[in-house]
Amino acid sequence: MKKLVLLAVPLIAIGYYLYVQMGITAQSTQKIVAEIELVNACDVPSDYFAVKNLQNGRIYSLAKGRVSIDAVQGEKLQLVLSPRYKDVEYDGMIFKAKTSQRVTADCSFGEKQRGVTEGLNKTFSSGD
């Protein structure tokens, strides 16, 4: 009886570990419909933006600032410009797919960009 108990404890521990690991794997491949709403802080219309699935490269256009995407829970997505606008680049935020979320398009300069721009302006204007 003692040998049976000593054997059962490791088997239960291994079984529990495998159960937990399988649960995590099943959760990470859970299919969802990601409902994404754009918060547009840019001076361009919302339909200029799109959402790109970084795993498969597919791009989804926004309609009235919203888009629904069949995705996997936690899959990486990125806010981008619509492919119709090839002359301009916009690398928006990268976010993970979930059932409902708001994503912000921010076209303002950050502090680092502002500092570089101001530095360049001073450099080129000092020779006048």
pLDDT tens figures, 34-68 = 999 999 999 889 999 999 999 999 999 999 999 99
Does this model's pTM top 0.75? Answer: no
Q: Report the C-alpha gap between 112 and 7 in whole angstroms.
A: 61
Rounded mean pLDDT of 81-89?
A: 85
**66 contacts 36 by C-beta, under 8 angstroms:** yes
Cα angle value 58/61/63 (rounded, 5°):
155
C-alpha 34/C-alpha 60 separation (Å) is 12
Residues 6+ apart with CB under 8 A from 4: none
Q: Please, are residues 51 and 78 in contact by the beta-carbon 8 Å criterion?
A: yes
Of 118 and 87, the structure prediction assigns the larger pLDDT to 87
The pLDDT of residue 3 is 58
**Range 95-115 average pLDDT:** 79
Residue 85's pLDDT is: 85
Dihedral of CA 23/25/31/33: which sign? positive
Model confidence at 127: pLDDT above 80 = no
Is the confidence at residue 102, as pLDDT, over 50?
yes
- pLDDT in the model for residue 39: 96
Mean per-residue pLDDT, 76-98 = 90
What structural domains does the chain harbor? 30-104 (2.60.40)
The three-class DSSP label of residue 85 is coil
CA-to-CA separations, 62 to 37, 39, 79, 83, 93, in angstroms, rounded: 9, 12, 10, 12, 16
Which has more pLDDT, 75 or 5?
75
Residue 89: the pLDDT is 79
